[in-house]
Every structure is written in structure tokens, then in C-alpha cells.
Structure 1
Amino acid sequence: MKYNIKMIGLDLDGTLLTEKKELLPYTKQILHEAIEKGIIVLMATGRPFMGIPEELRLYPGIRYALTSNGARVVDMQENKVLIEKLLPLEKAKKALETLAKYDTLQEVYFDGQGYADADKMKHIGRYHHNPYMWEYLLTTRKAVPDIMGLVNEQNRDMDKIQGLFADMDERQAAWAELEQQDGLALVGSLGYNIEINASGVNKGTALVELGRMLGIEREEIMACGDGDNDADMLKEAGLGVAMGNAIEKVKEAADYITVSNDEQGAAKAIEKFALRGGELC
């Protein structure tokens, strides 16, 4: 089967970026070729908008960004929010109260900006188990003295909540508690975190909705990912590509499995299917 790819949604961590959070030359070349061909290329990430590397936010030809697992999709050229599916304030407060029972670094995202507990950020290595994520969090989050105080001050719905756990048994217990709360969508793309969105929010539905807005059919959409929050996106896209380093759940959801992020597997899949007209075997 040949694909006529008109839009490509790309996860960042573990997919487009290497383990060291780099965007390598071959990947840049392939992105450029896809954009020159008229394909809409966009980030499809769990990160807040301001957590996207500046290199990609300003990348020539990349106009759209799907952020916070689909809670917020923005047109960067028009500085306009196209899709917004927020986590209701009261549900967010209840979830934060649950996270606070455990040893967690809590984050909340408002309007594409992430906020995190200042004291916990001083001990980033306790909560972010991947050292390559430390600089990312420290440079993209605004430190606040009290997360719940910020939420009460804002007094409005938000993009997303995240809890980073020091202890995996506590993560399992917190997940079980949160599952009992109505109106929440839970994923854990890092393995040691819990990401909390409003029920029904995921990258897949947002990517397909954006496609409809742009006159692009589901069958013309390609998506690449590796983590728990990418499984729905790979199922929804016409061509779902799992990275070689993806978790098993994502590989099972995929139509094709490429090589790892450190081997620039996303770029190789784009070249194969979107640029060179390759077919599934």
C-alpha cells in the first residue's frame, strides 16, 4: 500500500530528538525536504508550548504545534489557538491533592507555560530519572513556591497536570487512586510520571481534528512516536510509525516500526513513506 502523506505529527522526546535532546543534521534535512514538498510537519508532544525547543518553534515552514497531549493546538504563524480542551479546575485540584500525598514534583500548564514547585526543582534528579531532561525542565518551567497556591490564584481551567515520582510503588498507588476520579485521562510517557488531561484528550483525536480543519483526511496523516501518550495517535493516523525504542504498547498500535530515535528513525520513516513513496511490506 502506498501512502499520500499530507501531514506528519512528530513526538519529540524519544522520537524526533535523540536521547541527548538533539536534532541531528539528517533529520533536519528530511524535515526540510518534507516541508518543501508541501507536507504539513508539526510537533505532537506532551510538552507545553514553551517547552518545545526554540529551534523547532522557529523552524522554517513549521506552522502548527500540538501540545500538552492535544489539549492545546496552536497556529504559530497567526499566534492563534486552534484547539483547546482544558482540564476543569475542580478536577485538577482534586488530582493535585492526590499527587501531593506522594513524593512528587508537581507541574501545571497554563496557556502553554509550565509551572513547577521551586523547592522540588532544586532536587530535580530525585524526580526526573533521565539526566538529559534536567536542563529542559529547569530552563522551561517557571518556579513557584506553591503549586496549589498558583492554581487558586489563577482560578481557571488548565492545559494539563504532571506528577514526577521519586518512587515507582508510589506512582502505581497514585495511578490507582487517580483512575477512580471521573473526567481524567492518564498517561505516563516517561515511565516515572503521570500526565493528567481532561477525559477524551489525546494526541490522536487532536491530530485528526487539525487535519479536518486543514482539509486533510485521516488516511493522509502520518504520526511517529514512542511513549504511552503516543499510542492513540498511532492508532488514529493513517500511517502510525513506532520508534525502535518504543514501548510495546506503541509498537502494537503501529503500522510500521522504524529504528530508534538515536538512529534518526523518524526521519528515515518520513523519507521512506512521505518522500520516496515506499510501501508497507
Structure 2
Amino acid sequence: MIKLIASDMDGTLVSTDHAISEANASAIKRAQNKGIEFIITTGRSYEDAYPQVVAAGIECNYLVMNGSELRNPKGEIIQSLYLTRTLVEQTVAELTQAGMYVELYTTGGTFSPSDAESRKWAVATKINNFHPLISIDEAYQSAEDHFLYKGINCIDSLERIFENGYEVGKIISFSHRRDKIAELRATLPQKYPVNVTGSFAINLEITNPLADKGEAIKHYAAGRGIPTAAIMTIGDSYNDLGMLGDMFGYTVAMGNAIDEVKQQAKYITDTNDADGVGKAIERFV
């Protein structure tokens, strides 16, 4: 019997129009009414995650930044796994030297030491990834007006983060050069004690080495006496692979998931634009 459902957001619970469907929300609430716990497991920061969840009328806990933080429905931090200052400085220097755009998710907001031009191209890459019919060049022209661009705090030095006492939960890098992303995803963990994954083929997500969705879910469940065999996990991309391992009883890949996720998961549901999460919950719960 399923006692805990853990779902990713982008490409999973959230459709390409950036909303959680009524069908998905309804299935989650019905599961909760049966006494089954639901938790968000996302690479996003809490500030980026909760508005859509709340808008869908869902109340739950959050494992954000790939497990770097556990937050309750009110946004209060229950547990955390942050990057050390030394690791942040080393990793950002490595990415900068490689000519990569850099963002840092912190307890004080999202910051970027990259220049304005790089920020615009990074936002354009994100827009193109979510909306392939919009070319990167077209997205670039309107990038400065996009909410993703406006939500980034520009900084000249990482010192601004640390002098304010902010903790860094995740370093993120975007590029349309997928070969470079794949190379760094493989080499960075060999140089530094970090966990490196990504939500898409166009980004890197760098966290504390213990911040992994799978490990975070196991730790969370253990604290509640929930066996891994009673856990259902749902995801679509690289950073979901850790929570789709054999130790979990019900591992579900989205119909739009990357091949690696589909190969690892025990089951495949419909796409994120066809209420795949809701359909998986209806099937097993």
C-alpha cells in the first residue's frame, strides 16, 4: 500500500503552460484524503515552487533544490544541506572559466555574477526549452521583460552573498551547448565533492554531495516510519533518476520523460500535458 507520493514539478506535475492541472490537483487531494502523504521534490527553490502549488489548492511539504532544503507548507526550513563557501567559490570559478552562465539559489534569493548579456541568453535558452516554437533568437529579444530575468539579482562578486549571511543551496548553469553541459556534468564531480545533475539537457544543477532527490526522500520517509516499498515517485529528467531507483515500490516515468528515466522507472504514465501525474495516482491509489 502506498503511503507517500513524491512528485517532481517541471515536466512532471506542471504542464508546458506552467500550471498544475485540475485533474492532477484533484488526484493528489483524493490521495491525501485517504491518508497518503504527498510531497513536492523539485530542483526549484521554494520561492519558485510554492506559488503554483498553492494556486492549485495543494498543501504539502517541499523538498527543494534537489533535496538541499526540506520546507513545510508555510515555507519554514525543517532541514538543510548547503554548499560550503569554498565549494561555491571553486565551482563558480570553474564554470566562469568555461564561459558558462551562473546562477546561485540562496536563502536570500537568486543571484548571478554573470553579465547582463549572458543572463539574457540564459533566459532565452530557458524559454526556448519550455516553448520550442519560440526560437532562442526570438526569446532573446524579449528576455529582459520576462519574469525569469527580472527575478535574478545581479552581483559583481560572490562576497555580496556571504557578507549577508546567505547560504547557497544550489548553483545552476544554462547553455544551449548541450555537449558542454554533458561534459561538465561528468567532470565537475571528479574535481569537487558536489552532486551534479540537471532538469534538462541544457542545464547543470550543482548541490551538496548529499543533496539528491532519492536520498532526501529516503531520509524523509524514514523519519516518518514509511518503508521505501510504500513510496511512489514520479519524474521525467536527470535530476529525478535518484528517486526512481529499485528501492522505491512504485517508480513512474512521465510519457515525456528522457529515455534514461523511462528505462529506469518501473512504470510509465501519460505526459505532463495529459495529466500524467493524476493518471498514475488514479492507477495505483
Per the normalisation by structure 2, the TM-score is 0.85
* 1:55-134 alignment runs, 5 A limit: 55-57=52-54, 60=57, 62-77=59-74, 79-111=75-107, 113-116=109-112, 117=114, 119=116, 120-128=118-126, 129-132=128-131
Residues 50, 112 of structure 1: 8 Å contact kept: no
Residues 40, 60 of structure 2: 8 Å contact kept: no
Pair 1:85–1:145, CA change in 2 (3 A)? closer
Which 10-residue stretch deviates more, 223-232 or 101-110?
101-110
Q: Does 2:148 match 1:167?
A: no
SS for the counterpart of 1:73 is strand
Which 10-residue stretch deviates more, 95-104 or 49-58?
49-58
Residue 220 (structure 1) aligned to one of 223, 230, 233:
230
Q: Does 2:262 match 1:251?
A: yes
1:123, distance to aligned residue in structure 2 (A): 3.6
1:148, distance to aligned residue in structure 2 (A): 2.5
Q: Does 2:230 match 1:233?
A: no
Per the normalisation by structure 1, the TM-score is 0.86
1:143, distance to aligned residue in structure 2 (A): 1.8
SS for the counterpart of 1:12 is coil
Describe the superposition over 1:208-258 as per-residue Cα deviations: whole angstroms up to 9, x where unpaired.
211122222211111100000001111142211011111122122211111
1:152, distance to aligned residue in structure 2 (A): 4.3
Residue 183 (structure 1) aligned to one of 184, 189, 193:
193
Which residue number corresponds to residue 43 of structure 1? Answer: 40
Pair 1:259–1:218, CA change in 2 (3 A)? same
1:183, distance to aligned residue in structure 2 (A): 0.8
SS for the counterpart of 1:41 is strand
Pair 1:57–1:118, CA change in 2 (3 A)? farther
Which 10-residue stretch deviates more, 189-198 or 231-240?
231-240
Residues 98, 177 of structure 1: 8 Å contact kept: no
- Quote the Cα distance in structure 2 between the aligned partners of 1:248 and 1:91: 31
SS for the counterpart of 2:244 is helix
Can you give the 5+ residue segments of structure 1 that lack an aligned partner in the other structure? 275-281
Pair 1:125–1:161, CA change in 2 (3 A)? closer
Which residue number corresponds to residue 16 of structure 1? Answer: 13
**Amino acid of the structure 2 residue aligned with 1:121:** R
Q: Percent same amino acid at aligned positions?
A: 28
Which residue number corresponds to residue 280 of structure 2? Answer: 269
SS for the counterpart of 1:105 is coil
1:262, distance to aligned residue in structure 2 (A): 1.2
- Quote the Cα distance in structure 1 between the aligned partners of 2:171 and 2:183: 17
**Amino acid of the structure 2 residue aligned with 1:98:** E
The 4+ residue runs of structure 1 with deviation greater than 6 A are none
- Quote the Cα distance in structure 2 between the aligned partners of 1:148 and 1:175: 22
Which residue number corresponds to residue 278 of structure 1? Answer: none
**Amino acid of the structure 1 residue aligned with 2:92:** L
- Quote the Cα distance in structure 2 between the aligned partners of 1:63 and 1:114: 23
Can you give the 5+ residue segments of structure 2 that lack an aligned partner in the other structure? 132-138
SS for the counterpart of 2:201 is coil
What is the aligned length?
A: 269
Pair 1:157–1:61, CA change in 2 (3 A)? closer
1:111, distance to aligned residue in structure 2 (A): 2.2
Q: CA RMSD in A?
A: 2.4
SS for the counterpart of 1:52 is helix
**Amino acid of the structure 1 residue aligned with 2:250:** L
SS for the counterpart of 1:122 is helix
- Quote the Cα distance in structure 2 between the aligned partners of 1:163 and 1:124: 8
1:53, distance to aligned residue in structure 2 (A): 4.5
- Quote the Cα distance in structure 2 between the aligned partners of 1:61 and 1:131: 24
- Quote the Cα distance in structure 2 between the aligned partners of 1:124 and 1:213: 39
Pair 1:172–1:61, CA change in 2 (3 A)? closer
SS for the counterpart of 1:200 is coil
Q: Does 2:141 match 1:145?
A: no
